[in-house]
């Protein structure tokens, strides 16, 4: 009889699989979103997010995907014609450029080779050229599997232009790697529900520093849905300007609770271990990884397939033959890499299972790799 696989394995860098606890928490009646019951839940989520962000700053929650959160940051702090620097290390850096341009912001698009992190020395040289209103970059660039050194980049901004805003897209990095919003003096930090929080997509959160509020007072980009002025009165009451994504808020409360129970350092260590496990397996097979070890993302790994094997063919076969969903290369990296997510609700054995499928497929596709070597190396790490 033909062998049949029934379990779907989601191994992309968000959305991540959802724990049963979170699913169960979302299975909740709708309640009045202007009443005390909902307000109490929302306040818990805001407090939980402050814990995750390591901040005392105000946090606003929008029914939106992560891109909306990026747009929130831009339209509430900038004006058309403002000069900004975007540190563009991949597709999401390029998205920051597009959002800024859409609002007439004057962008210095500082592009780095794909697979590399933003270089603080290059940032410093750009900052020395003249004043900018803001510097925007990703904590974790999901399209290339690269983790930026946010602390050093932020220090570089403060040293050269103390008043410039630091706007960080932490959509895929938040709770996968440390991000100390207050200690590193970050002005607007964006996160999304579908990543390390282990909640379905649909919520974006932004933190707002005192410096960002000051910028907001003179920011002229057109806005309505995203306008902080509309949220300002509501947030302290545990309310939002629009109808909130209630089910997701219940999910966020549970997802954050799970992370707190696990403990911040353990969450980071889990992501790091799983990253190292996957990288060890890939290297044992002689594969090239897009990011080098020093800036390897704890959320996702971009893998170059062996000579003669197309990344898209691997991805399709993973799905068709093994029910494992991995992520494609984006933009200029399409076909050149495939990406395996180890973000959120993923365990070491999920990674070893997925890697076993990769090795079988490489063999079938005729790649000259040492069959079984990656899985063995990973098992030894356990
Ligand atoms: C770093 C980063 N920024 C922004 C986004 C955009 O988020 P969304 O697809 O939820 O709009 C993503 C999504 O994967 C991301 O990884």
| Pairwise CA distance, residues 142 & 37, whole Å | 36
pLDDT of residue 3: 73
Q: Is 71 in the pocket of ligand 1 (CB under 6 A)?
A: no
Q: Which domain holds residue 299?
A: 9-16+263-381
- CATH number of the domain within which 342 lies: 3.90.1150.10
- H-only helix segments in the chain: 20-26, 36-53, 66-77, 91-102, 120-127, 150-160, 210-218, 228-232, 246-262, 264-284, 311-322, 348-364, 373-381
Among the candidates 236, 261, 286, a domain finishes at 261
The answer to whether residues 169 and 298 belong to one domain is no
Using pLDDT thresholds of 50, 70 and 90, give the confidence band for residue 307: confident
CATH code where residue 55 lies: 3.40.640.10
Number of structural domains the chain divides into: 2
Q: How far is the CA of 307 from the centre of ligand 1 (A)?
A: 30
pLDDT surpasses 80 at 187: yes
pLDDT recorded at residue 5 = 84
Claim to verify: residue 68 and residue 196 sit in the same structural domain: yes
Indicate whether 372 and 283 sit together in one domain.
Answer: yes
Mark whether 141 and 60 lie in a shared domain.
yes
Residues 256 and 282 placed together within one structural domain of the fold: no
Residue 37 sits at the vertex; the CA angle it makes with 31 and 38, to the nearest 5 degrees, is: 65
Residues 226 and 282 in one domain: no
| Phi-psi region at 85: left, alpha or beta (left = phi > 0; alpha = psi -120 to 50) | beta
Query: How deeply is 179 buried, as exposed, middle or buried, from its count of CB atoms within 10 A (0-12, 13-18, 19+)?
Result: buried
- Residue 308: which pLDDT band, with cuts at 50, 70 and 90? confident
Nearest CA to ligand 1 atom 5: 66
Domain final position from 261, 286, 312: 261
CA 168 to centroid of ligand 1, rounded, Å: 12
**Measured distance CA(52)–CA(343) in Å, rounded:** 15
* Residue 147, helix vs strand vs coil: strand
With respect to residue 2, please indicate whether it lies within any of the assigned structural domains: no
Residues 146 and 70 in one domain: yes
Q: How far does residue 333's CA lie from ligand 1's centre (Å)?
A: 17
- Does residue 88 sit within a domain? yes
**Is residue 189 within 6 Å of ligand 1 at its C-beta?**
no
- Give me the residues paired with residue 188 across strands: 167, 208
Q: How far is the CA of 92 from the centre of ligand 1 (A)?
A: 7
Q: What is the pLDDT of residues 63-91, one digit of tens each?
A: 999 999 999 999 999 999 999 999 999 99
Query: What contacts 226, CB < 8 A, 6 or more positions away?
Result: 62, 68, 71, 72, 75, 76
Indicate if 80 and 166 belong to the same structural domain.
yes
Range in 27-31, 120-124, 317-321, 340-344 the model is least confident about = 317-321
């Amino acid at each position: 009889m033909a062998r049949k696989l029934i379990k779907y394995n989601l191994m992309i860098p968000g959305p991540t699989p959802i724990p049963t606890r979170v699913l169960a928490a979302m299975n909740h009646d709708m309640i009045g979103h202007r009443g005390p019951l909902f307000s109490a839940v929302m306040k818990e989520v805001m407090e939980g997010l402050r814990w995750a962000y390591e901040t005392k700053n105000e946090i606003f929650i929008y029914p939106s995907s992560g891109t909306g959160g990026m747009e929130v940051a831009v339209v509430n702090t900038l004006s058309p014609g403002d000069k900004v620097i975007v540190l563009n290390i991949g597709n999401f850096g390029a998205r920051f450029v597009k959002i800024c341009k859409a609002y007439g912001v004057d962008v210095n698009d500082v592009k780095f080779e794909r697979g590399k992190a933003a270089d603080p020395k290059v940032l410093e040289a750009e900052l020395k050229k003249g004043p900018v209103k803001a510097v925007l970059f990703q904590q974790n660039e999901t399209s290339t599997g690269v983790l930026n050194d946010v602390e050093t980049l932020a220090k570089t901004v403060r040293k050269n232009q103390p008043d410039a805003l630091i706007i960080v897209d932490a959509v895929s990095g938040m709770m996968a790697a440390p991000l100390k919003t207050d200690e590193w003096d970050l002005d607007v930090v964006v996160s999304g529900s579908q990543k390390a929080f282990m909640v379905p997509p649909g919520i974006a959160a932004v933190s707002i520093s005192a410096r960002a509020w000051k910028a907001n007072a003179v920011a002229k980009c057109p806005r309505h849905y995203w306008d902080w002025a509309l949220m300002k009165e509501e947030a302290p009451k545990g309310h939002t300007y629009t109808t909130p994504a209630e089910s997701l808020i219940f999910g966020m409360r549970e997802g954050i609770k799970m992370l707190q129970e696990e403990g911040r350092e353990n969450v980071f260590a889990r992501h790091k271990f799983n990253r190292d496990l996957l990288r060890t397996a890939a290297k044992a097979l002689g594969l090239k990884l897009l990011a080098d070890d020093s800036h390897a993302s704890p959320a996702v790994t971009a893998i170059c397939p062996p000579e003669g094997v197309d990344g898209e063919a691997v991805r399709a076969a993973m799905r068709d033959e093994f029910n494992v969903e991995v992520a494609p290369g984006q933009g200029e990296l399409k076909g050149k890499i495939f990406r395996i997510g180890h973000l959120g609700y993923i365990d070491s054995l999920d990674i070893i299972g997925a890697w076993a499928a990769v090795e079988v497929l490489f063999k079938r596709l005729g790649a000259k790799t040492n069959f079984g070597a990656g899985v063995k190396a990973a098992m030894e790490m356990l």
